[in-house]
Amino acid sequence: MSGNLHQTSDASKTSRADQAPGRLAAYRAVLASRMRAQRSYRSNFVIDLISSGLVGLIELAEVWLLFHQVGLLGGLTFEQVLLVFGIGDLCFSLADLFVGHLDNIPTYIRKGTLDVFYLRPQPLLLQLMTSDISLRRLTRAAIGLASIVIALSINPIQWSPAKVALLALTIVCGLVTYASLYVWAAGVQFFMVNGAEFTNAFVYGGRYASTQPAAVWSAPLKVLFGFVFPVALVAYVPTLRLLDLPGPAGFPTWLAWCTPPRGAVDGGLRPDDVALRRTALPRRGRLTWTRLSKHTV
Amino acid sequence: MVALHPYIRLLKAGFRQQSAYRLAAFGGLVANLTFGFLKVAMLFATVRAGGGTVQGYDIGSMSAYIWISQGLLGSINLSGRIDLADRIRTGDVAVDFLRPLDVQVGTIVTEVGRALFALIPRGLPSVAIGALTVGMTMPTTPGPYLLGAVSLVTGITISFATVYLVAVAGFWLIETRGIQILYMVLSGFFAGLFVPISLFPTWLLVVAEATPFPSMMMYPIDILTGRVTGWASAGLFLVQLGWLAAMLLVGRLLTLAGRRKLEVQGG
């Protein structure tokens, strides 16, 4: 009931905004209505905000509990790992804020409601990105940001212009890397209906992995999360570089500067590039097969 | 016995329903293994840094904990999500109340059926692959396995009896995603999903033990792996039964109250 109401009001807003000048007006209208919709169940929204903050805190507690038992893990102290955790978690939460709801794609595909998006004259990915901006994810990003600030203030760092640039680049490129993981996972859903857990292993597994000191990983994990899904480059390797620590086997610290090219390879999240292409599969008319454009994969 | 018959059929239906999603089960197994190996890396490193043992866990028993907990991931509901929540929000639950079945028992029994199926494609392979690749220490007497199996099924049932409470809160809140996420955050942590709760500092252990979550996963694993034996394991099982009874009772009361509160619009 309420869902239908929201949709109709969205549609009328969009069409009115389309006549107004400015290409982004439609998206602004859609986003504003999504934000209003979230706040309409007020008690649920407050619990949402608190829970998301708790997610961040408990993930930090999981790391802290191990350091509570021993002083040094993978060559890092808890103070040093706090920086790894902060960068990894901030980038992930921001990517989650912008594209995390691509997780809903399997539901759209199963119910056949994805076609509605194709009927609108806007790129599919951009529509999906603006289909739901969850404000609650901001509290979790705040935990990540707080971890970074605390870690930067308690660890001795020899600041230089290069390091400032590295930190800024790392956060931007980490965000792009995670966003790419989400887009990749959503694209795969067209081929494996009900296979979300398969991709979750690498999206959420990637988040979990990126907050760890990668020195403790076995060789297959280093290949998988260092280079195939390069989450070790999001936080761990840049942290080593910032703290002037030596890199373990497989992760020389000059790799820290490779996050931007890696992010670019994975991402290329320019909305026009990532317009999802639709091709009908003749033999099974019911299914709509869609592929990511070459630029993204 | 006649009264139980439909529920036994629901249990079987849940079991068979889940068997239709083989690819999903495979995806789940991949997720179990990926997280499993990441946990092996971190927790083994902790045990080694602790000089071979941490809180009584050595490499072998830590491995048993990791792989059994990963294997249970598809069977114990630590996500807080359950179909009933959607049925309450949309009002479809009104139809369920018209059926000659108890909504609470019917829901939990169907979910437990699905959960038991998940042990076959996800639980057993996770444990087997873990045992083959990194080895694990398990008890050599039959006792822990017998009580462990019963305790495991009890743990699975407690998880669904508790998630049922999250869903019926929808009678008052309508949108329950907030508490569902709250459940997801707390359940995994306190059930001992990422770090065994014995590694918690005392104050946090006390908090964990005051919740039903360790009864879902940690206690069954402790019993099954022989970390707790004899009367102590019987004690843990009794704690589980207590939580099961409590969760079912609260669920019953909330269902009765919620049914009166239920307002379905449309015609």
Q: Does B185 touch chain A (CB under 8 A)?
A: yes
Chain A touched by B13 (CB under 8 Å): no
The pTM (predicted TM-score) of the whole model is 0.82
Contact between B178 and A201 using a beta-carbon 8 Å cutoff: no
Contacting residues of A for B59, CB less than 8 Å apart: none
Please tell me which of A10-24, A164-178, B101-115, B151-165 the model is most confident about, judged by mean pLDDT: B151-165
Q: Is residue A10 over pLDDT 50?
A: no
Distance between CA atoms of residues B82 and B111, nearest Å? 8
ipTM for the complex?
0.83
Which of residues A254 and A288 earns the better pLDDT score? Answer: A254
Nearest of A63, A76, A3 to residue A33 by alpha carbon: A3
Instruction: Give percent of chain A above pLDDT 70.
Output: 78
Highest mean pLDDT: which of A167-176, A197-206, B61-70? B61-70
Examine residue B209 and state whether it is found in any structural domain, yes or no: yes
Residues of chain A with C-beta less than 8 angstroms from the C-beta of B185: 51, 54-55, 58
Quick check: B267 pLDDT over 60?
no
Q: Out of A9-23, A34-48, A102-116, B176-190, which region has the weakest mean confidence (pLDDT)?
A: A9-23
pLDDT at res. A86? 95
Residue A273 has pLDDT above 70, yes or no: no
The distance of A117 to chain B (nearest Cα, Å) reads 23
Mean pLDDT, residues A219-242 = 89
Query: What band does A144 get if pLDDT is binned at 50, 70 and 90?
Result: very high
Any idea what DSSP says for residue A226?
A: I
Contact A221 B35 (CB under 8 A): no
Chain A residues whose CB is inside 8 A of the B42 CB are 66, 73, 212, 216
Q: What is the number of domains present in chain B?
A: 1
Beta bridge partners of B57: B54
- With an 8 Å Cβ cutoff, are A70 and B37 in contact? no
pLDDT at position A152 over 90: yes
Alpha helices in chain B (DSSP H): 5-19, 22-49, 59-72, 83-90, 93-98, 103-118, 124-134, 142-168, 170-173, 177-191, 202-209, 213-216, 218-224, 230-261
Residue B198 has pLDDT above 90, yes or no: yes
Whether B14 maps to a domain, the answer reads: yes
Residue B190's pLDDT band (cuts 50, 70, 90)? very high
pLDDT in tens, A239-256: 998 988 887 777 777 777
Asked if the structure places residue B265 within a domain, the reply is no
Calculate mean pLDDT across residues A77-99: 92
Instruction: Give percent above pLDDT 70 in chain B.
Output: 97
On whether residue B267 sits in a domain, the answer given is no
Nearest by Cα to B115 from B147, B161, B146, B55: B161
Contact flag A216-B41 (C-beta cutoff 8 Å): yes
Banded pLDDT at A21 (limits 50, 70, 90): low
What percent of chain A is modeled with pLDDT above 90? Answer: 17
User: Taking the CB of residue B7, how many other CB atoms lie within 10 A of it?
Assistant: 17
Residue B195: which domain range? Answer: 4-260
Using the Cβ of B200 and the Cβ atoms of chain A, whether some distance falls under 8 Å is answered with yes
How much is the average pLDDT of A118-135? Answer: 75
Mean pLDDT of chain B: 90
The tens digit of pLDDT for each residue in B136-174 reads 889 899 989 999 999 999 999 999 999 999 999 988 887
Subunit contact A58:B179, Cβ cutoff 8 A: no
* A-to-B residue pairs, Cβ atoms closer than 8 angstroms: 127
> Per-residue confidence at A25, pLDDT binned at 50, 70, 90?
confident
Q: How far is CA A149 from CA A84, A154, A167, A209, in A?
A: 12, 9, 12, 21
Query: Does B45 lie at the interface with A, CB-CB under 8 angstroms?
Result: yes
Of A43, A195, A209, the CB nearest to B27: A195
Handedness of CA B74, B75, B80, B85 (dihedral sign): positive
By the CB < 8 Å criterion, does B173 face chain A?
yes
Nearest CA in chain B to A1: B90
Q: What confidence tens digit (pLDDT) does each residue in B71-100 have?
A: 998 899 999 999 899 888 888 888 888 888
B266 found inside a domain: no
- Mutual angle of helices A196-210 and A78-99, in 10-degree steps: 140
Which pLDDT value is given to residue A16? 47
